[in-house]
Amino acid sequence: MPLALFGTQILRPTVALCLTIGFVIFLFRRDFREQPNLTGAFWLPFVWMLLIGSRSVVMWLHSLGVMKAGSVEEGNPLDALIYFGLIVAGIGVLNQRRVSLSEVLRNNGWLMAFIAYCFIAIFWSEFPFVAFKRWIKILGHPVMVLILLTEPDPREALSRLVKRTAYLLLPFSILLIKYYPNIGRRFDEFGGFRNVGVAIGKNQLGCLCLVLGFLLFWHWLNVWQAEKGKTRRNELRLTGGLLFMVGWLFAKAHSATAFLSFLIAIVVVLLVSQPWVNKKLIGTYVLMVAVAFLVADLAFGIFQGIVSLTGHGETLVGRGELWGELLAYHVNPVFGVGFESFWLGDRVEVFSRGPWTPNEAHNGYLETYLNLGLVGLFILSGVLIATFRKVQRQLLVNSDWGRFALGFLVAVVFYNWTEVSFRGLSLVWFAFYIMAMEYPGLGFAKEPSLDRVGSENEMERNEVYV
């Protein structure tokens, strides 16, 4: 493809690569000089988020022409070893920190029940070994979140996790799109070649922008409330620059659902911040909005109209046809076909549409039904409701964190209407665990904390409230 399609290239690719590496080193050097209150175990969730936010090690080696990617059923032993090693190391950290499993179960009952049911659903899968390997991977989400929750300062750990992930994935996504299109672009059946950056697809790039963009927005407001000075000003500029990168990548990704979910999350945060909003009635507000949206969608097709405005009406029509075929396909309505097993074997070819071969239902609730049946869908509903109730309590105890958790929860519910994130190594699913999990006496919103922000030449601690 002509390089002109990717915008004007001011530099040679090798020069752009060196400058990007130098910029990333500068950002990390700046971050380390602030001496954040982190333990060495912090690197485990950091590496975990890097991998699920971009590509697996084998996929990167495949993109560079070093190694062939494994099949969907078999995967690759190297990736399996890396993920398993991270999970085992994380469990070791939690054991050293004397994390109580009974307390985890007691405070996150519905979420743990969902994980347990996913394990049980392995036994009626046609591909039990593949399903078991995939189930092992999802254990990494709660393990990594518990490491964050048990850091000396969980709030700062989350802030550093977001920033350091953004330092790497955002600049390199821009670099690959503009200067290395053979890696930063992929063919899409609907629109030809699409920008993917460090991700494996345009929708995955949209997920990356959704999660990092929203959490960076949280950090920006966090810093905004700090004491005025050079430190605060530099941090605001840095975070603003990262948010600008997110906006640029959103424009290149053309992932309508992720972008709309991001806007919805921001709107919820801003609305709940208003003094005239009675936080005790937040459940009533949410129910009223949900009913109003459902009625408007049934009567006027408002969702399709919104998506059409973004230029993605054709893909929505294709997904609607796919949903109809999937609902008509015979599966066990109570238990489904087994954990993450529907898109394995011959079923993939059954729903193939010429050049487009779907590998997901493009609806998180339908995907859950196909794999886990009505039982799985019921437990997932319990997870969402239980998380919402936790958010309600947070809004009364610490409304600043509660509004962010509420915004992201609404975004996740909306996102799964045309995409799938209630599964596997989805970055949105991992971020949901961050918002949903609790551990007694610890968390991101228990008490105001001191967040380290600074520049190269000065370091100071400013008291900031989420």
Q: Which pLDDT tens digit goes with each residue over 32-61? A: 998 889 999 999 999 999 999 999 998 998
Strands 449-454 and 192-195: unpaired
Please give the full DSSP string across 79-97, using - where no structure is assigned.
Answer: HHHHHHHHHHHHHHHHHHT
Euclidean distance between CA atoms 92 and 86, whole angstroms:
10
Handedness of CA 311, 315, 318, 322 (dihedral sign): negative
* Banded model confidence at residue 247, pLDDT cuts 50, 70, 90: very high
d(CA 240, CA 234): 10
Mean pLDDT of the chain: 84
Listed by start position, the domains of the chain span 10-464
Q: With cut-offs at 50, 70 and 90, classify the pLDDT of residue 210.
A: very high
pLDDT at 444 over 50: yes
> 140 or 327: whose pLDDT is higher?
140
Q: At what angle do helices 202-224 and 230-253 cross, to 10 degrees?
A: 160
Beta carbons of 201 and 241 less than 8 angstroms apart: no
Q: Which residues pair with 194 in a beta bridge?
A: 186
Q: How far is 354 from 330, CA to CA, in rounded Å?
A: 22
Q: Higher pLDDT residue, 190 or 377?
A: 377
Closest by alpha carbon to 72, among 205, 182, 200?
200
* First-residue to last-residue Cα distance in the chain: 45
pLDDT of residue 464: 33
Length of the chain: 466
Give which of 365, 369, 349 is closest to 357, Cα–Cα. Answer: 349
Confidence of residue 346 (pLDDT cuts 50, 70, 90): confident
Specify the pLDDT at position 68: 73
- Side-chain-side CA neighbours of 32 within 13 Å: the count stands at 7
One-letter amino acid at 152 equals P
